[in-house]
Amino acid sequence: MPTIYLVDLSTGNVLNGTSLKVGDQFQWTTSQSVNNISVFTPQAPNSQWFSPEPTPSFNGPGNSATLTALLSSPGGGWTYYATGFVVPATARVHVQASMPQAKAS
């Protein structure tokens, strides 16, 4: 059974691992008591790095429905926003490629 990673909404940090990889499943989580949280990325070309987006509405403290990371992030990580929750400007999620690129020798 694959690991479902928990991603802190306030920081973007993976709480039960080091970072996400493309294809990994994860859930947003927060320790704050907040209702009707929905998470989404900025509306820009190819910015949808998780699915489904926006996140189905959920309440904190707790986790959302299970999501899937779709794309590896730029060096600074993916930025995101939320309705019903103030996301700090420093919050980023880092998603790595699911497999190292092989080089021909």
For 16-66, the pLDDT digits (tens) are 988 899 999 999 999 999 999 999 998 766 778 999 999 999 999 988 999
Q: How far apart are CA 73 and CA 96, in angstroms?
A: 7
Where do the domains of the chain lie?
A: 1-99
| The pLDDT of residue 105 is above 60 | no
What is the per-residue burial (b if ≥16 Cβ within 10 Å, else e) of 3-34? Answer: eebebebeebbbeeeeebbbebebbbbbeeeb
Answer whether 83's CB lies under 8 Å from 38's CB: yes
pTM of the predicted protein model:
0.88
DSSP single-letter state for residue 60: S
- pLDDT of 3 reads 87
Q: CA nearest 95: which of 79, 77, 82?
A: 77
- pLDDT of 82 reads 95
**CATH fold of the domain at 1-99:** Immunoglobulin-like (2.60.40)
* Chain mean pLDDT for the chain: 90
Query: HEC states along 4-36?
Result: EEEEECCCCCECCCCCEECCCEEEEEECCCCCC
Q: What is the mean pLDDT of residues 77-99?
A: 92
